[in-house]
């Protein structure tokens, strides 16, 4: 079953602005991962944050994790039109690799 | 970086036929691969875990006789949709988890296979 809830479901911003997406989950986790999917394509792994970590950075991406609130956020700074895609969070509760995906946020960055 | 391929990328078949989808890890070995299904504008739903050399583990509600999984080697898993019906039309995505212990948390996704059953 899907345990992740993401908001917003859709986000439209101008190039150069920051985009923030949120993810909430229900059970305890080993790690939480963020993926990107361009329309009709496979998934690209963006960043993984472990349950004992609170924040991680990778280029223009910043991910936070609050295990007490069972939530995570993905911030994309200085967005570009090429960032237009769907973004999914996924949780791994057993460290077996079985991922439970959130519903996703569709991001549109207007040039 | 690690690459996972899927073949075919797109398939159209008649109702009642069986369709085989291959998932290959091209530059790493994977004892575990995963099969997901995605409906349009929806999230990915885990169908099953494919284990090399043993039976696949199916998620609740997924018919194992309908979706046959074989993990014949450390680089190949296949999903066969048997007696396909229009409701099986979907986007099927696999992922593979490298054998290397240092990066076991990360898994790599294939580009997906779009199945249309007429």
pLDDT digits (tens, 9 = 90+) for A67-89: 999 999 999 999 999 999 999 99
Using pLDDT thresholds of 50, 70 and 90, give the confidence band for residue B104. Answer: low
Name the DSSP letter for residue A80: -
Q: Could you say which of A45, A97, A103 has the minimum Cβ distance to residue B43?
A: A103
For residue B103, what pLDDT is reported?
53
As given in the structure block, the two tokens for residue B103 are 């990066």
Name the DSSP letter for residue A4: B
A47 vs B68: CA distance, rounded Å? 32
Residues in chain A closer than 8 A to B104 (CB atoms): 97
Is A102 in contact with A7 (CB distance < 8 Å)?
no
- Closest-CA residue of B relative to A101 is B44
Q: Could you say which of B42, B93, B107 has the minimum Cβ distance to residue A97?
A: B107
For residue B41, what pLDDT is reported?
81
The answer, yes or no, to whether residue A6 has pLDDT greater than 90, is no
As given in the structure block, the two tokens for residue A85 are 């895609």
The residue assigned the tokens 């895609």 is: A85
Mean pLDDT throughout B84-94? 96
Mean pLDDT throughout B7-23? 96
Out of A38-42, A77-81, B23-27, pick the least confident. A38-42
Give the whole-number percent of chain A exceeding pLDDT 90. Answer: 81
B→A interface, C-beta within 8 Å: 4, 6, 32, 34, 36, 42-46, 49, 60, 91, 93, 95, 97, 104-112, 114
The answer, yes or no, to whether residue A3 has pLDDT greater than 80, is no
Residues in chain B closer than 8 A to A95 (CB atoms): 105
Mean pLDDT throughout B18-36? 93
Give the whole-number percent of chain B exceeding pLDDT 70. Answer: 95
Residues in chain A closer than 8 A to B32 (CB atoms): 96-97
Q: Is B101 helix (H, G, I), strand (E, B) or coil?
A: helix
Is A21 in contact with A107 (CB distance < 8 Å)?
yes
Whether chain B has a CB inside 8 Å of the CB on A20: the answer is no
A97 and B91: CB-CB below 8 Å?
no
A75 vs A77: CA distance, rounded Å? 6
For residue A1, what pLDDT is reported?
39
Mean pLDDT throughout B57-63? 94
Question: Cβ contacts of residue A30 below 8 Å, gap of 6+?
Answer: A50, A51, A92, A93, A94, A95, B105
Q: Is B86 helix (H, G, I), strand (E, B) or coil?
A: helix
For residue A74, what pLDDT is reported?
97
- Closest-CA residue of B relative to A33 is B106
For β-strands A5-7 and A55-58, DSSP reports them as: unpaired
B79 versus A2: the higher-pLDDT residue is B79
Mean pLDDT throughout A35-43? 89
A2 versus A16: the higher-pLDDT residue is A16
Residues in chain B closer than 8 A to A23 (CB atoms): none
Q: What angle do CA A58, A64, A74 make, to 5 degrees?
A: 65
Q: What angle do CA B109, B111, B115 make, to 5 degrees?
A: 120
Average pLDDT of chain B is: 91
Which backbone phi and psi does A56 adopt, to 5 degrees? Answer: -145, 150
Mean pLDDT throughout A85-105? 90
Q: What angle do CA B33, A35, B43 make, to 5 degrees?
A: 80
Whether chain B has a CB inside 8 Å of the CB on A88: the answer is yes
The answer, yes or no, to whether residue B77 has pLDDT greater than 60, is yes
For residue A96, what pLDDT is reported?
79
B107 and A99: CB-CB below 8 Å?
yes
The answer, yes or no, to whether residue A2 has pLDDT greater than 50, is no
3-state SS record for B21-73: EEEEECCCCCCEEEEEEECCCCCEEEEEEEECCCCCEECCCCCCCCEEEEEEE
Q: Could you say which of B43, B60, B106 has the minimum Cβ distance to residue A48?
A: B106
B38 vs B114: CA distance, rounded Å? 10
- Closest-CA residue of A relative to B96 is A97
Q: Is A23 helix (H, G, I), strand (E, B) or coil?
A: strand
């Amino acid at each position: 079953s899907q345990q992740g809830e993401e908001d917003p479901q859709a986000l439209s911003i101008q190039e150069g602005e920051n985009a923030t997406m949120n993810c909430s989950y229900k059970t305890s986790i080993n790690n939480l991962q963020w993926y990107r999917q361009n329309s009709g394509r496979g998934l690209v792994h963006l960043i993984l944050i472990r349950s004992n970590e609170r924040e991680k950075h990778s280029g223009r991406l910043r991910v936070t994790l609050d295990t007490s609130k069972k939530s995570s956020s993905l911030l994309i700074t200085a967005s570009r039109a090429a960032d237009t895609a769907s973004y999914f969070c996924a949780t791994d509760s057993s460290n077996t690799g079985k991922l439970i995906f959130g519903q996703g946020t569709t991001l549109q960055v207007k040039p | 970086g690690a690459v996972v391929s899927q073949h075919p990328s797109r398939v159209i078949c008649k109702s009642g036929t069986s369709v085989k989808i291959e998932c290959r890890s091209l530059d790493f070995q994977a004892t575990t691969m995963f099969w997901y299904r995605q409906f349009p504008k929806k999230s990915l739903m885990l169908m099953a875990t494919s284990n090399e050399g043993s039976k696949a583990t199916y998620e609740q509600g997924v018919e194992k006789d309908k979706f046959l999984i074989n993990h014949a080697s450390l680089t190949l898993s296949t999903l066969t949709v048997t007696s396909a019906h229009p409701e099986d039309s979907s986007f099927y995505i696999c992922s593979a988890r490298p054998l290397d212990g240092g990066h076991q948390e990360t898994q790599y996704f294939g580009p997906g296979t779009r199945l249309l059953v007429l």
